Structure 1
Amino acid sequence: MRILTSEPVRAAAAGDNLSGVVKARVLAEGFDTVGIADPAAIGGAGEGLIGFLAAGFHGDMGWLEANADKRADPRVLWPEVRSVILVTLNYGPDDDPRPARADASRGAVSVYAKGADYHDIIKAKLKAVARDFADMAGEDVKVFVDTAPVMEKPLAQAAGLGWQGKHTNLVSRDLGSWFFLGAIFTTARLAPDTPERDRCGTCCACLDACPTRAFPEPHRIDARRCISYLTIEHKGQIGPEFREAIGNRIYGCDECLAACPWNKFAQKASEVRFHARDAADNPPLHELLRLDAAAFRARFAGSPVKRIKRDRFVRNALVAAGNSGDQALLDDALRLICDDSPLVRGMAVWAVSRLGGLELKSKLKERYSSEEKDATVREEWERMP
């Protein structure tokens, strides 16, 4: 988004410390920390992105490749940019989310997705800051919240807000790993902050915590193996090699974030907007397996979960059901063998293969496998023991 002033009013800002003024306005809007970076300070992150794409680590995320040049250099995205204002917004949980995964009858939802959609919350706040700054400074601004080709994390490190940990996420001395990022690009020349240094040391807790070994080396992730990618971004069937490791995670994964020792400084999110919503707070699997498209939209209205739509979400719930060992979920899985979506049918076959007895599976395979038109679903029938 671009916000332009109707008339330049640079005289009004003459002599003001623009950096200090905009930082005060950001904090007044309710953000937790703020820093400023020169757009050129993205440094070698652009080269790292090119290597990430060349290795195919982005998987289905073609949008990363489509705008790689703009991600690699903010000045390609907007040649007029002179400064980038980076902000954080805390979403720290009340408790460590990992013990909640012990209840296999429920689906585990990533902490960030248990509240209202952060895109809407942060963008509204950033727009308010940007309008005031544009009016005061007589400069042009653009607002970005995870929906444009911007590499917020290396810019935020350059702005002194944290450093990219070995899990590739930003870590803060003030907020641990639980915070969102937003950015305001501006034509104003603002005083940049001192970059934060890497403070991970020899710790590899985040890498060791990954259930699917998605990190080929520190500071490098193969998204194709990441549970967050598999349950959110990936559009096809989830590979058999990852299903057991996914456990009951139905939307995202918090393991590498939760394992970070810097979370001892994390703060609980104080605002109601990030408190757990009944709709998304580790819901019972038997309810999720019964969702049609309309019920899914109603249940997750206003939640980030809605972005993956019903079929992918029920696919994830079926993986969790197959891992649950809960025979009470078998009837729901059986019903979904005949679902309209091949994505759902395929995972239903797998869930039944885990929950059903040999006699039942033999009868089902004989009844349905020869009639199945989708190749990926047929493969699931063929794998059924």
Structure 2
Amino acid sequence: MTDPGAERLVAEPAKDPGTGRTPYQRDRARVLHSAAFRRLAAKTQVITASGDDFLRTRLTHSLEVAQIAREMGVALGADPDVVDTAGLAHDLGHPPFGHNGEDALDVVAQPAGGFEGNAQTLRVVSRLEAKVPGAGLNLTRATLDAITKYPWGRKPGTRKFNVYPDDQPVFEWYREQAPPDRRCLEAQIMDWADDVAYSVHDLEDGVHAGHVRIELLADPDERDALCADVARVYSPESPGDLRAVLTELLAEPVVEGLARYDGSHLAQSRLKQVTSALVGRLSAVAVRATREKTGPGPLRGYAADLEIPRRARAECALLKGLALRYVMNRPGANARYVRQREILTRLVEALLHRAPDALDPIFAPLWKSAADDAARLRVVIDQVASLTDPAAVAWHDRLAGPLEGAPQ
């Protein structure tokens, strides 16, 4: 009996059966060995990469998401390589400078349909990566579906989507048996693993970098301000309900490891105990709630939805809020964000004037074959999105001239 999830858009010669590798294991290897995956090592997670090699990059974050997703997938009976690959691949489309870069490229890419990191991820794996001409990495249906957090194109009133208009054919191919707008279980596992990883690990990085000082939350006014931030950005819960969850969370003995952090070996050990406990709890509670609803047996595809208890969502949102308030919105951060957006905007403008000669060899032919200005703009956006943070600055300085002022 054939597995329709293992089909690829472009048929490939039969592989050596003696290796015993499944199609999904091959997918994982293709992502792991891709150029886009390697570039994540120099792309910002939350705190810009610097001389402190403790801090996470998009690559280390992706590895952590894959590990969390894999363990959840095993517990629920999903194919572990499918959810693992989705975790590895989920950020391949992110541009330089994290979500700030994503916002900048969305503005300049409006004539071509805008920019979204998840849609760019699909574009990378199904078109831009050099493995199978015309099909990118030529991943299986099941893996492509597992990568898809937002299974729709751009809609009025929503920022998140997973497919640009000119990538619609491959999207329709791998989604042809999927319920409209519904995510498969593997995508839901990956998405929650992503939330858990970046909420907990961004907090860990923020504490280590000295930006997050948990003792500040002893002030009731500061707790109220944090909960207001979270209700505005991350959670449908009221600030009052979030305040109750936050009070209970801060009272837990394990959270004491966040206080009075001084970078010593003992302090780092305590901090790691906090992150391990939080990751384990938030992932296990989703597995347990899902099993309580479905019972035993393997779950995959559209056989079930991942159940995430309300309390776990609130805790995760509060952890995100700590990074938002004390890291992303810390004093002086906005000036750096403005500078990063200016770098990407000017770089796109410079490449539009100097293409195709200034483009990488992989993108220059795409520019020459583009049918109109919107298609040529999309090629330039693809080029800029592929760059690492340092490469984006170097390309900008070479093609547009350095900005005045201190380094970004």
| TM-score, with structure 2 as normaliser | 0.28
| TM-score, with structure 1 as normaliser | 0.29
Bigger CA radius of gyration: 1
